[in-house]
Every structure is written in structure tokens, then in C-alpha cells.
Structure 1
């Protein structure tokens, strides 16, 4: 980070930390969903998204603070963004149990 000023370095650190947080959130969300939900929604498999988001999380972790892989952070955030904007809403609609939004004790 020697080519950046102190303020730019702080902004870069915050942005790379945010990218890492988004990638990890997407990864954890994908791993919590049942594999059948991905098939039901007509999306790629849970294994595919787990691997893709795991690699994205690793790349964004390596780039924290400007570690030379900044161009790969863009790809990592795009992968997480596609999951969060397209796949997550589709797999959330899968009726695989739970209270279904009716509270912790189910419907009355």
C-alpha cells in the first residue's frame, strides 16, 4: 500500500473488509440451505455454489488491505452478488420446513 495515501489506504481496507463480509455471508447462507432447494429452484447445485463462494471468500480474504489480488475481489463480489440477488431469493422460497414466517412457535 505504499502507493496510496493514508486516507486511501483506510478506504481500501474498509472496502476489502466489506467484500470479505459479503462473500462470507453468501457462503454461510448457501451452506445452510438444503441441497434440494437448489434443484427445486432450477439453479446450480449446492456444491457448485459452495465451492464458488468458498473460493470467492478466500480471494477476498487474501486481498484485505490491498494484497495484490484486488482485481480478483471484483470477481468475488460479483459471484456473491449473483448468489444474493438471484439464487438466494429462489432457494428461500423452497418449503423445506421451518415455521414459514409465522413466528418461532408456528401458526396459531
Structure 2
């Protein structure tokens, strides 16, 4: 019973790391390359390669029913790469990405 709970927590933890890395990778792919340079960060190619590798490692680290359950210690590096992108790079490049966010249409706020 305790073993099953431990496996469930283990699976949930690595699934969250995988989901965060996928989110960061998709966000980096959607941003224009000029936004990275304008924001004073490394290039889009650097971040997409890094986050792509982090996503692959995070998938491999997920336990067996979904992933392979190998390289689980490297999932920490995947989480760090995605965390750095989401906490530092994304806010810096967001103003240069174009668009004003959610469209409200032609009517007022109320």
C-alpha cells in the first residue's frame, strides 16, 4: 500500500516536470526570434534546443507505464532549464513578442 502511494507520487512528480517542460518548449517555439535578441537573452535556437532536450529527458524519466523510467536524476536538470526559461527569459521577451494578449473585441469592459 505504501509502495503504491510512493509510486503514485513519483509518477505525479515526473509527469509535472514533463508538463512544465512541454509548456516551456511550446512557449519558446511560439515567440519570434527577434524577441530573444531584443530582450537581451540567448537566441531562440539555443532555448528551443535546450528545452527540446529537457523535454525528451523529462519524458524518459517518467516511470514505465508511460515513459521509460530511466535517467530520473536528469529530470532535475530539465526542471531547472524550464524554470529558468519561465522565470527569467519569458518575462524578458514577452514585451517584444507582439500582440497585446487576450482580445476583448469591440465592446467595452462592462
- Shorter chain as denominator, the TM-score bin is 0.7 to 0.9
- What's 1:52 paired with? 50
Distance in 1 (CA, whole Å) between partners of 2:44 and 2:72 is 27
Which stretches in structure 1 are left out of the alignment for 5+ residues?
A: none
In 2 relative to 1, CA 76–106 (structure 1 residues): closer, same or farther, beyond 3 Å?
farther
- What's 2:98 paired with? 97
Note the aligned Cα RMSD (angstroms).
2.1
TM-score in terms of structure 2 length: 0.85
Distance in 2 (CA, whole Å) between partners of 1:31 and 1:45 is 12
Which stretches in structure 2 are left out of the alignment for 5+ residues?
A: none
- What's 2:72 paired with? 70
- Residue correspondences, number: 103
Matched ranges for 1:34-53 at <5 A: 34-53=32-51
1:70 deviation in Å? 1.1
- Where do 4+ consecutive residues of structure 1 move more than 6 Å? none
TM-score in terms of structure 1 length: 0.87
1:104 deviation in Å? 4.4
